[in-house]
Structure 1
Amino acid sequence: MNSAQARSEHVFDATRAAFEKDVIEASLTTPILVDLWAEWCGPCKSLGPILEKLAAEYAGAFRLAKIDVDAEQQLAAMFGVRSIPTVILISGGQVVDGFAGALPEGQIREFLTRHGVQPAEAVETEATQAPAESPEDAINRIQQAIAAEPDRAELKLDLALALMRAGRVEPAQAELDALPANLATDARAVRLRSQLELARALTDAPPLDVLRTRVQNDDSDWEARDLLGVRLLIEGDTEAGLQQFLDILKRQRDWHDGQAKKRLLAAFATIDDAALVSTYRKKMASLLF
């Protein structure tokens, strides 16, 4: 496959006008690797061909979206890009990770593998799938890796995420707080921070049925409605949870220093359903603006 064919099949130029459809919605089925670059950027010229080569080699396991930051300044601003090249992985409608600078090919392969992105051929030839790793097994595995390589700070972020998946909120918070500055702003760390914020809100909170009863008895019991929204989110009834926050925002916008808006933003950072997030972002915006 020559480079022109590879670009036409697996690489495309992302624009603001089509970003929602071509990147966010498309990532629901195929991971999208976003390459933010510019013509004048020297490192971009070395990184770009590597990314396009990998896009061709991985044969559809991910797609590469190229964003010229000079031509698409609003997209660059949306990602908060401070330097280029910057590469961001979007999957399931959400930013899941990224890196800055022109990494060597081997490290980019490790980055993709860490997020479950493998060459299509490798996926097809896997005869069996390994059993799913339990949260506790993941914690033990990562702790052993940290003991072997204590200077690999990214492993500590992996540990914080594993602790959160196991429901161990305080240890996860402690690991998150101890991360170095360059990882504290990592997309996964930002998402974890939102998850922990929601989980901590339920400390000593009443159970779901009690909160439902309180809201039914007094639909202006904003505290009960707020906690009900968090419980519904945590327990998987995502849209119902978002609706509770939206109701507070609609009827008592400034309650608790605008907490409903903060809850919605934290929830958006943790929800994998891009279409649902988009719908409720628009509803929130219509109330705020």
Structure 2
Amino acid sequence: MSSAQTRNEHVFDATTAGFENDVIKASLETPVLVDLWAEWCGPCKSLGPILEKLAAEYNGAFRLAKIDVDAEQQLAAMFGVRSIPTVVLISGGQVVDGFAGALPEGQIREFLTRHGVQPADTANDEDIAPAPAETAEEAINRLQQAIAAEPDRAELKLDLALALMRAGQVEPAQAELDALPANLATDARAVRLRSQLELARALAGAPSLSELQARVQANDSDWEARDLLGVRLLIEGDAPAGLDQFIDVLKRQRDWNEGQAKKRLLAAFATIDDPELVGAYRRKMASLLF
């Protein structure tokens, strides 16, 4: 039996102990919408029933994982939750998007549709071809048009900043992020994006991966090369190898560049979607610092 506490067929309470199996691994088969809430949160009480209604209506097209942030503080910390309700969509074992606040039902339907989540009877209709995945450029155009039509919807500007980052447009993404209102500046997605931008900017004008590897091989105390090599490895998809570079600098020269290795590790943790990997390297970092 799953370690999740099942409420009904499509809604369950997620726990720290079962998160890896019930959410991350399960999302490889079916998208999981994570609702981070608390009993004392007024907006949560209006959003929760809408999400549960949609989970029933979509009939298995996604599962709804409810996380009480007071009972599951470790999970809340893992998502970097600053305000609730916060909703995160996990698919294919990765965080793909999310939003903060109690959105109306129509906007939540749009959010699901944007990520290819359709009611099961529609998604399984053999006569309907699945919509092609939206490219970053298409998302930018769509969001710019939506913002022009509804300039007061600040959450669209966060969506645009994320799309710009996916397209590799670092400076425009930073500009949109900096212009966000205070309530969205601390949204989990904004915090994650800020860390991604910090790492991406570090590589402006940096040597290639092979050049950095050669520098480290020639001099394993070339802290700048190790730092940039770690960032390159991280951004190019080899997170463990990148984290190892930062850990090595922290272990051997922890005060280099005003403790930059620690800052890199914290930024990396905010961008990596693997809770087990992040947990393992958080413990390594803590053992070196304390």
* More displaced stretch, 229-238 vs 61-70: 61-70
Preserved contact between residue 245 and residue 260 of structure 1 (Cα < 8 Å): yes
Q: How does 1:82-231 map to 2 (within 5 A)?
A: 86-91=85-90, 92-94=93-95, 96-101=97-102, 103-125=103-125, 127-231=128-232
Preserved contact between residue 51 and residue 64 of structure 2 (Cα < 8 Å): yes
What displacement does 1:78 show? 6.1
Preserved contact between residue 93 and residue 274 of structure 1 (Cα < 8 Å): no
What displacement does 1:117 show? 3.0
The CA deviation string for residues 243-268 of structure 1, in whole angstroms up to 9 with x for no partner, is: 21122122222322221122122222
Preserved contact between residue 161 and residue 174 of structure 2 (Cα < 8 Å): yes
For 2:59, the equivalent position in structure 1 comes to 59
Q: Secondary structure at the match of 1:108?
A: helix
What displacement does 1:147 show? 2.4
For 1:251, the equivalent position in structure 2 comes to 252
For 2:282, the equivalent position in structure 1 comes to 281
Preserved contact between residue 59 and residue 119 of structure 1 (Cα < 8 Å): yes
Distance 1:284 1:94, change over 3 A: farther
Distance 1:45 1:215, change over 3 A: closer
For 2:3, the equivalent position in structure 1 comes to none
The residue type equivalent to 2:50 in the other structure is I
What displacement does 1:44 show? 4.6
The residue type equivalent to 2:87 in the other structure is I
Distance 1:153 1:255, change over 3 A: same
Preserved contact between residue 233 and residue 241 of structure 1 (Cα < 8 Å): yes
Using the alignment, how far apart are the partners of 1:236 and 1:120 within structure 2?
33
Query: Percent of pairs identical after alignment?
Result: 77
Preserved contact between residue 34 and residue 90 of structure 1 (Cα < 8 Å): no
Preserved contact between residue 25 and residue 275 of structure 1 (Cα < 8 Å): no
- Where structure 2 has 5 or more consecutive residues not aligned to the other structure, the ranges are 1-5
Preserved contact between residue 82 and residue 186 of structure 2 (Cα < 8 Å): no
Using the alignment, how far apart are the partners of 2:199 and 2:147 within structure 1?
28
Using the alignment, how far apart are the partners of 1:244 and 1:82 within structure 2?
30
Distance 1:160 1:13, change over 3 A: closer
What displacement does 1:274 show? 4.2
Using the alignment, how far apart are the partners of 1:232 and 1:107 within structure 2?
37
What displacement does 1:196 show? 0.8
Using the alignment, how far apart are the partners of 2:289 and 2:164 within structure 1?
35
Using the alignment, how far apart are the partners of 2:26 and 2:69 within structure 1?
21
What displacement does 1:108 show? 2.9
Q: Secondary structure at the match of 2:233?
A: helix
Distance 1:166 1:19, change over 3 A: closer
The residue type equivalent to 1:88 in the other structure is V
Using the alignment, how far apart are the partners of 1:132 and 1:77 within structure 2?
31
Using the alignment, how far apart are the partners of 1:120 and 1:87 within structure 2?
24
Q: How does 1:254-269 map to 2 (within 5 A)?
A: 254-269=255-270
Preserved contact between residue 173 and residue 196 of structure 1 (Cα < 8 Å): yes
What displacement does 1:89 show? 1.4
* More displaced stretch, 248-257 vs 128-137: 128-137
Give me the TM-score of the superposition, normalised by structure 1: 0.82
For 2:50, the equivalent position in structure 1 comes to 50
Using the alignment, how far apart are the partners of 2:199 and 2:221 within structure 1?
21
What displacement does 1:280 show? 3.0
Using the alignment, how far apart are the partners of 2:245 and 2:133 within structure 1?
34
Using the alignment, how far apart are the partners of 1:25 and 1:186 within structure 2?
25
The residue type equivalent to 1:117 in the other structure is V
Using the alignment, how far apart are the partners of 2:175 and 2:252 within structure 1?
36
Preserved contact between residue 33 and residue 62 of structure 1 (Cα < 8 Å): no
Preserved contact between residue 116 and residue 133 of structure 2 (Cα < 8 Å): no
Preserved contact between residue 88 and residue 95 of structure 1 (Cα < 8 Å): no
The CA deviation string for residues 82-124 of structure 1, in whole angstroms up to 9 with x for no partner, is: 766x1421413548323234x4433332333344433222222
